Every structure is written in C-alpha cells, then in structure tokens.
A and B are shown apart, each in its own frame.
Chain A
Amino acid sequence: MKRAAPWLVALAAALLALLLLQWQGIAPARALPLLAGGAFGDANAWSATLRIATPLLLCAIGVTLAFRCGLWNIGAEGQLLVGGVAAAWAGHACGHWFPALLAGAAAGAAWAALPALLAVKRGVPEVLATLMLNGVALELLRWLVTGPLQEPTRQFPQTARLPREAWLPQLALGRTGALHLGLPLALLAALAVGLFLARTRAGLLLRTGATAPRLARAQGFALDRARVVAFAAAGALAGLAGAVDVAGVARAADRSLAQGLGYAAVAAALLAGLRCAWLPAAALLLAALQSGTSALQWAANLPGIDRFGLLLQGLAIAALLVAARFAGRSEGGERTEGSAAP
C-alpha cells in the first residue's frame, strides 16, 4: 500500500484533471493527444518546450544550490527579471550576446546578494527578503521599460530590440523552431553545481552548514562569506536565465519576462529532490506541462484561457510533489532530512 500510494495520488490527480476537461467539453481521448502533441509532438513543439525548460532549469539550479546550503531562495523570479533587463541593456549597448549574458548574471547575483547579506549580517529571514524583492524587481522593470530603457520610438513598454549580433547563437529546429545556446549552458551549469556540491570542500562545508553551522565554522570555514557567495551564485544563475531568454527568444525585455518561471523553479527543484542530476528532467517535465496545456487551450479554445492551463499545471505539480515525497526522493533536501532524522 505504501509503495503504491504515490502512484494512486498521481492517478487521482490525472483523473481529476481529465474530469475537469470533460466538464469543459473535451473528451480525454481528445485532450491527451493534444497535451502530448503540444509538448513533444514535432520539432516546433519541442522547441517551445525547451524554450521554457531552459530558463526554468537555470533558475531551478540556483534554487537547488541555495536550498542545499540551507538558504531559502524564493527570489529566482526577481533575479530573472533584473537579469533579463540588464542583458537587454548590455546586449544593446555592446552589440554582442556575451556581455549581455555576463550583465544578466551579474545583475542576478547582485539582486540575490542583498538578501543574503541581510540574512548573514542582520538575521533577516531570506525567504521573506527574496520574496519581497520579487515585487520590487517587477516594479523596477516596469519603470525601466517605460522610462530610461524604453525603446527609441517610446510606443511600447519594452526595451530596444537587440541587434542581430546580440542574439544568442542558435540551431534551427524544424521549420520555425530553434534551439539557442542557453540549453547547453544550463546543462553545463547543472553539472557544475552538482559537482561543486558533492566534490568540493566548499560545497561539503556549505552543506554541513545547512544543519550544523557550528561544525562548519569549527573547521575554520568562513561560513557566512561562503553563504553570501553561494546565494549570489544562485542569483547569477537566475539572472542568466533572464538573459538567455532575452537574448535567445524575446530579443527585448518587457513585463512578460518571468511569468512565474522563478516560482515554477522552486517546484522543479523540489520535484528533483534537490538533486542536480534530476533537475533537467524536472524542468523538462514542468515545461512540457506548460507548453502542452497552452497547445490544448489553443486547439480546444477553452474559456478563461490561461487560468485553466494554470489549474492543470498546478494539479500536476501538486500530484508529482506528493508522489515524490512518498517515494522519498524529495528527502534530498538536507534541511528536511535533518529534522526528520531520529
């Protein structure tokens, strides 16, 4: 029974989702192919899914890095926003994608360093600080794209369109799809962070600090400084997510940049059990849900269009998290493990 429980939960959620669709007048036999096709049906679908998965993965790596160090980074959303704006500015100013990525990462790092410093120096809970700064970042962006960084014609609330040289190199995928440099970057980052946590002394002591800060300090480790650096690195990854989205897909920054990706990253990180090796799969799954449901909305012409998609995604995420917890995989979180241990 215990073993079957997660699958029963997942099954129940799937049934509930299908029932909701039925209620909307779409038979499961029609809905499921639409969902799957929207996510992975052809090159275009793959392209759409991977476009979402790439920044999601980068953010989720940042969230995972922070969580494993016992720091709660709920601020990927804001870090992504400032990273995207900085990248739009730098890409336009320098006319190349590389400085755009650098600027995005730097802005994300700075945006994350602030709550980290407050947490270390003043004991301000980083959960709250990062969460609040998300709102600040959104307003900052809103102001920038209607003020100092607005595009030259001053008609739209967005930054100037990036010149071609500032677009990320990409690989054509199907007729209209494309795969940009962000994806290999993100996979590389997952590998790097995974290795850092498991195979370096700093990673080891940062993880130690999550449950036993005094032990880490007793080894002569400057824990507070390392935590600020790790948190800033997490922010840099989220900032990079904003940058690759701007330089790889959007070509300009506007308010639609993040759209909850930073929060979905928390779900992805938990879904992967805070393990870097599982992050790409978790990000891909959540991204597929998103692209699949939007395809479904399109094809089925559902009312309340984005709301219904969100509902389906939320249901799926909740079911997956419950299933993962039953299966014991999300116990990779060292804080949860530490408190649950006898």
Chain B
Amino acid sequence: MSAALAFRGATKRYGGRAVVDGVDLELHGGEIHALLGENGAGKTTLARMALGLVPPDAGGLAIDGVATAIPDAAAAARLGIGMVHQHFALAEGLTVAENLLLADAPRAWRRRDFEARAKERLAARALDLDPARRVGLLPVGLRQRLEIAKALDHARRVLLLDEPTAVLTPAEGEALFEQLRSLRASGLAIALITHRLDDALRLADRVTVLRAGRVVHAAARARAGPAYDAAAIVRALFGDAPASLPPAPPPPRDAAVRLVASGLAGDRFGPLDLELRAGERVVITGVDGHGQGELLETLAGIERPRAGGLAITAARRAFIAGDRRRAGLALPLSIAENVALARGAFARPWFTRRELHAVAAPRLARFDVRARGPAQPAGELSGGNQQRVVLARELAAEPELILAEHPTRGLDLQASAFVQGELLAAAARGAALLVATTDLDEALALASRLLVIVRGRLHPCATTREAVADRLAQEATR
C-alpha cells in the first residue's frame, strides 16, 4: 500500500543551514505516526511543508505514491491535509458556531439557522458543545476538540497535530488519545508531532526521531507486537555521544540543609520529597512540560503548593526563571532598576538615584552586561545580555539557595558557558543549586546529583547519559 503522504528526500535550508535535511518519511492511512525530536529538530518545518506553507528546497512530497507539489495552503486543503496547531487558530471572541463556519459563512444567515448548521457539524463530529458559547470561555481541552473538528473539515487524508498534549491536563490528554484512536480506525493518517516520549510510545504505530533535521531513528510496532526499544529512542533523541565528563565531586555529608520538601504537590507535579544541602548541585532533567516549571516556581514561592510542606533555611535565595520575559525581567524598566529590585538591595525602603547606581553598577560590571548604560530598558538587550542582567540581580548577593530553570535556553555557546560557570562558582562557594533543564549536556555538566522528572514525579538517576536515557525510557513506558 502506498503512503497517504510521503516525504521524499525533503530538504529545507535557511541561510545555508539545513533545518530539514533529506527526510524520507511515510504517513499511512489508519496509522498514528509519532514525530519525535527536541526543539529545532525540524518537526514543525516538515509539517509546514505538508501544509504548503514552506516550499522544499530539494526533494518533495508524494500523495498515494504520486509525486505532488503542494504550492499553498489551499492546495493542502484540497488534497485533504489538515493541521491542529499548538497555539490554536481559533478566534476566542467568537462563538463556537462562528468559528466552525468562519471559512464558508455567507453573510446573511439568520442566527438560528447559523447555529443549527453548526449544531449539525458538531453532531457529525460527535462533539457536544453549545454553538452559542464563546470560544474564549471554553476549557482548553474542549477548545482543542473544536480545533480538531475544524481541522477535520480539510483533513480527509492526513491530520497533523503539533504538540497536542502540551496544554492539556492528563484527563484531557486521555480524551484526546481516545479521539485519535477512533480517527485512526476511520482510516485517517495521523502525524503526532511531539517531544513527549510517553505520548508517542503509548499511541503511535510508528515512531520517527528527528535530530538536526535528519531522521536518526525509525521504528514500527506490529499491531499486537512488543513495545518499542524506548532506550534506543531516547538515545536517538538526545544524541549518543559518550559522556566524557569527570565525575562530579560528592556533596559534603554534613552540609547544612537548605531546602526540604515533603509530600509537596502542585497541579502538575508531585507529591514529591526533596532535600537540598549546601554545596549540592541537583539537576532535574527530562522532557519539557512534565511539571518542572511549576515545581521550581512553587519552591521559589511564586506558586502556592496544593499540598505538602516546604521548609527553606536560606536567607538569601536566587530564582532564575525559565520565562525570562515575564518572570525574569521587567522589560520596560531600566537595567539598573532590574538589578536593584532584588531582595535586600537597599537598606531603606526608598533610595536615591546615586544609591540606585551604586547598587547596580558593580553588579552589572561583574556580570559583564553589555548595554548603552544602566538606564537602558532591559527589553532592548539581546537574550544573552538579558540573562546576564538576571544573574547580576540574583547571584550578586551570594545566595545560599539557587533555583534555576532553563538557565541557558536561547543563549549561544559562549553565553551558556558563562552562565554555567557562574552557577558552578556559586555552588562552590556553598550555595545549594537546583537546576531544571532539558539539555542533557548541561544537566551532566552541572549535576552532583541528577533527578529525572516524568509526569511530575522525580526519579533518582546516575549522572551518565546512558542512565538518563534508560531511566526516561523506563518511566515513560510505565
């Protein structure tokens, strides 16, 4: 049987760098095909090719075995290819009916006819939704079902889903999987783009792993066959270069306890126990979206825990937020102000212009922030310099506890090395360090103790690449 949609040597380059590099891939009717890969692996670019949004530089696509060009989105729709985007393409201010019929709504429908038509459509998709309901008021899971219903208007042949579970609660995820299974039974070819291994392993008939634009692993599961070789998939995801790092020195046994969490739970993590001692460097790694962000924000005191206890015995704490633009910096404020808003920067509740400068200048200098001057708004700086401002604020006061989420995300190699160096130096001075990162190299470089997070639970893990891969695979298949 020829594939409903096939990529044949598909290649796309941006500025000489191949984002998708000679990819051969087949999507068959009646199958769910998981496309796995880290950020920037080329998954989304492939999907955009299928939708006619990105023309391939070399190679091409085939429909039912016949080479076919998909020049634009309308052509993709004609060919029966539809997509559910990670960030829904729904108009939140409009009603369910209006969203459903947006594309083909004549102008003069009466409201009642309009909603009756929408109701028919919803019924045909087995969706129990009030057509007059405003989309912005729907829970995310229902919004996604509406988005799928809309996509299915086009997707007679192929349905692409981009990170569909990223925004869903576990229960909503289950409902989605159920729906996808029934769509598979109807003969649709489904491509599931994800970086969540557990979703892929549970649902997919085939798995393809992309790294740096190339297919690095492909596996199929017979209908009643055994599970995948999860460890091999994880190795493919993260790269299988051997870890050549020296073993981290063991944490001092009698060091002071800085943080104790017992039975701590939030909406997306826990319940979990965690103890952190001075000088210890604990790294939480794993695939993004498993609750690590919420865990760190809870430990930092921004989110309130749903249950459990948290005791922190560190007067000076640092929190390096993963979302730099909304939690790391106040972008409209000046660099100096961003540094000076730290806890304990001033002795009094007010300060003079000179005091502001006296607090900010040495910190900005020590962390080598490159800017026009201390009065420049933080929003005007490059990502690397913004992160230096964050570090200048958070690390300058010799913190006893450092919580950091994706501390080097979006930074170039040099800036990353600088940030990691500062974190290690702080730990060497006796700070307890807790880092959450998806970058395995970073995890191994920083960790004296490694924890793997899967579905909000922490699992201890040896500090080697293989151990992490095994552990992730093991937990994801559980």
Contacts and interface: CB of A to CB of B under 8 A. Distances in A.
Interface of A: 195, 199-202, 204-205, 207-208, 210-212, 214-220, 334, 337-338, 341-342
A266 B337 CA distance: 27
Contact of A219 (B342, B353, B379): B342
B467 interface: no
A217 to B, nearest CB: 5
A204 B321 contact: no
B302 A204 contact: no
5 contacts: A210-B332, A212-B326, A212-B330, A217-B301, A217-B302
Given A210-B330, A215-B328, 12 more contacts: A201-B346, A201-B350, A204-B337, A207-B332, A211-B332, A214-B302, A214-B327, A215-B321, A334-B330, A338-B331, A338-B332, A338-B379
B105 interface: no
Interface string B313-343: 0000001010101111111110001001111
A20 to B, nearest CB: 36
Main secondary structure of the interface of A (DSSP, over half): helix
A218 B329 CA distance: 11
Contact of A334 (B329, B333, B349, B352): B333
Nearest to B342: A219
A220 B301 contact: yes
Nearest to A215: B327
B418 interface: no
B301 A211 contact: no
A337 B380 CA distance: 11
Question: Interface centre among A195, A200, A216, A341, by most B CB within 10 Å?
Answer: A341
A205 B351 CA distance: 13
B38 interface: no
A211 B331 contact: yes
Contact of A205 (B301, B341, B377): B341
Contacts of B343: 219-220
Nearest to A335: B332
A199 B351 contact: yes
Contacts of B34: none
A342 B379 CA distance: 7
A205 B350 CA distance: 12
A212 B329 contact: yes
B265 interface: no
Nearest to B328: A215
Contact of A218 (B300, B346, B350): B300
A217 B300 CA distance: 9
B302 A218 contact: yes
Contact of A212 (B328, B346, B349, B356): B328
A215 B301 contact: no
Contacts of A207: 330, 332-333, 337
Contact of A208 (B319, B330, B346, B351): B330
B297 interface: yes
Contacts of B326: 211-212, 214-215
